[in-house]
Amino acid sequence: MLKTKLTINKLWLSEDEKLWKSILNDSWSRVKPGNFGLEKELYTIHRRVKKFKDIDNWYLFILDKYLPWKYTAANRLARIKSLFKEEYKVVKAKKRLDLIIKSMFDEILTNPNNIKRCLKEPMKIKGIGIAGASGIISIFFPMHFGVIDQFVAKNVVRIKEFEKDPIVMNLKRKINKAENKDFYLSLTEGVFLIEIMRKKSKELNKKLKTKFWTPRKVDIVLWNSRD
């Protein structure tokens, strides 16, 4: 959450690394105590998982690790878990899931700049939409991707730098129409948001002469600086 009198626009233009890092680190205070261990594990999983074969059982990983990490609302988690288990309850279906994940890794390792194609692969998983897909690719490849969701989108549309962009203007209309209810991002909007995270992380690294910032860390700052 942003400190008093600090707007998202002031933050976005700021080159104060201590400020950016304070908001990044403060995000841990928003994690539910019961999810803290899982959050820590998936925050660093990219250091241990470099390729598809580094995880033995993708079905159990997604069911027991990824879904509880991404969907913290109990009702939504229960619904998505139910869809997932029903779809992949037999061995043949689990093998199909493995192929999707392998294709995802192959796509990202081959051409990470094609954000649309990289997002499309995990979207083939039953119950996983654009936000869920961005989560999967970002935990394994945080140097290239960030998580996109409605909270991040609501913050981005408030940044003056993007206010005249057609995608942002349409996104604003969608947010206003939703009237504080959940809404879904399109693939085009998702690609746009990740491009913004990539651009900002490169900009911060260049100005601050560091390699610390990634799209994933920018997404966490955007998420944690929401009202």
- pTM value? 0.94
Distance (Å, rounded) from C-alpha 120 to C-alpha 149?
A: 16
Distances (CA, A) of 81 to 71, 76, 88, 183: 10, 8, 11, 20
Residue 179 main-chain phi, psi, to 5 deg: 50, 60
Contacts of residue 162, Cβ cutoff 8 Å, sequence gap at least 6: 156, 168, 196
The one-digit pLDDT tens for each residue of the chain (227 residues) are 565 568 999 999 999 999 999 999 999 999 989 999 999 999 999 999 999 999 999 999 999 999 999 998 999 999 999 999 999 999 999 999 999 999 999 999 999 999 999 999 999 999 999 999 999 999 999 999 999 999 999 999 999 999 999 999 999 999 999 887 888 999 999 999 999 999 999 999 999 999 999 999 999 999 998 76
